[in-house]
Amino acid sequence: MHNYYQHSGGETVVLEREKAVLEEHGQEVRIVATHSNQITSMLSKVAAAAKSIYSPSARRMAEAEISAFKPDIVHVHNFLPLLSPSVYYACHSAGVPVVQSIHNYRQVCPGGQLLRSGRVCELCVKKRFAWPGIVHACYKGSTAATATVAAMLSIHHALGTWEKLVDVYIAPCDFVRQKLIEGGVPPLKIEIKPHFVDDDGCVGDGKGGYALFAGRLSPEKGVDTLLASWEELDNIIPLIIAGDGSSAALLSDAQAKIQNLKCLGWVPHESVRDLMRGAAFLIVPSKWYEAFGLVIIEAFSVGTPVIVSAFGAIQELVCDAITGWHFQPGDARDLVAKVKWAVSHPEYLREMRVRARAEFEAKYTPERNYELLMRIYQRACAAKSHMVHVGSAR
């Protein structure tokens, strides 16, 4: 089950990839979905906000789909705002086990990103009622909408929804798992399964001789840190930036100061893969707690090392001095030092390319992901069966 956002993002990519890999292995999959593009008027926004706490219509829809499809398991990716936790109740009444994928920090933060005014914020993580998020209007910049999400989180904490009606949570990495635990999710309910990318077997050689940034251009992505570091690097390696977004205006000023900077704007996915193959390394200078980092494992899939900010999930993905390097978040000088070291040790970079590809093959292939996903499904089914037997014994 999935609530599609108005603009497609990483959650949708993960959902579609998991569906494809399940079907390739002979599993029958049906996506039950709502779309946030249905929310158009102020009236519909108010109605959607109210239903995000509990939607009777979404429960009826879920019950009808369960009755018709008779699934062995229901895998929820995103329920906000139109599905709501009511879909868990539909599954519970039908005796169907539930797995919930975690794509952001919504369980512990109304805004979902642990980010406020461009900086990491954890004020709501351990609170049963997320009042700081309401004060700062962290969900869609609206106090009312944030209050609704905070109420949804608090009410379902009190009802035991998160603990009793979800059999297994899937966190993409240990960092996200720890944040869920801090927010009150039982540790034994959380399994770690990283995301994956398709493998075309075409590994790059890095002979393009440039550094690469690929992704959304926004303040939390650390584009300012990246540009500041290139001003100090004295043309030792070109930088290619592929992407667009709210920070794109920074690039026009930077191009006047940085001779070896090339800005491509938005680039199709396959072209990004080609850029990765030719890059000496990828740089991910984020200033916020990314929940995963698909761009990192895409780089690994073509054998490209990655330089990342040393915190959050992305730090967990990159082994320092093994498959890339860590630098202090927001510290342009530390990034300069890491880039200079990488450029001055080409043989080490070549060895690192081999290790990056090996890391991908060990952890992030479709086949490995399928194995982990099926193991999680089996655990969820076993947990539900145990609860049924316990309930019958009573």
Task: Read off the CATH number of the domain in which 338 is found.
Answer: 3.40.50.2000
Cα separation, 380 vs 167, whole angstroms: 5
Both 165 and 246 in a single domain?
A: no
Same domain, 143 and 35: yes
Q: Are residues 50 and 160 in the same domain?
A: yes
Model pLDDT, residue 388:
47
Q: Does the residue 204 lie in any domain?
A: no
Q: Are 61 and 125 contained in the same domain? A: yes
Q: What is the pTM of this model?
A: 0.93
pLDDT at 394: 37
User: Which H helix or E strand runs over 143?
Assistant: helix 143-159
Q: Specify if 315 maps to a domain.
A: yes
Q: Do 346 and 276 belong to one domain? A: yes
Q: Is residue 176 part of a domain?
A: yes
**Domain membership of residue 322 as a residue range:** 210-364
| CATH number of residue 9's parent domain | 3.40.50
C-alpha 265/C-alpha 250 separation (Å) is 12
Whether 201 is in a domain gets the answer no
- pLDDT at position 387 is 52
Q: How far is CA 262 from the centre of its chain?
A: 27
Residues 295 and 147 in one domain: no
Q: Would residue 151 count as lying in a domain?
A: yes
Q: Which pLDDT does position 256 carry in this prediction?
A: 87
Residue 126 DSSP symbol: T
162 and 247 in a single domain? The answer is: no
Give the span between the Cα atoms of 70 and 48, in whole angstroms: 28
Q: What is the pLDDT of residue 346?
A: 96
When divided into structural domains, the chain yields a total of: 2
Going residue by residue through the chain, which has 394 residues, state the pLDDT in tens, using 9 for 90 and above.
999 876 667 899 999 999 999 999 999 999 999 987 766 554 455 566 677 899 999 999 999 999 999 999 999 999 988 899 999 999 999 999 999 999 999 999 999 999 998 899 999 999 999 999 999 999 988 898 899 999 999 999 999 999 999 999 999 999 999 999 999 999 999 999 999 999 999 999 999 999 999 999 999 999 999 999 999 998 899 999 999 998 888 898 898 899 899 999 999 999 999 999 999 999 999 999 999 999 999 999 999 999 999 999 999 999 999 999 999 999 999 999 999 999 999 999 999 999 999 999 999 999 999 999 999 999 999 987 755 443 433 3
pLDDT value for 192: 98
- Whether residues 166 and 217 fall in one domain: no
3-class DSSP state of 212 = strand
**Separation of alpha carbons 76 and 87, rounded Å:** 9
pLDDT of residue 9: 73
pLDDT at 8: 64
Looking at the structure, tell me whether residues 224 and 102 fall in a common domain.
Answer: no
Q: Are residues 190 and 214 in the same domain?
A: no
Say what the pLDDT of residue 51 is.
79
pLDDT (0 to 100) of residue 43: 45
Same-domain status, 242 and 274? yes
- Check whether residue 118 and residue 164 sit in a common domain: yes
**What's the pLDDT score for residue 393?**
36
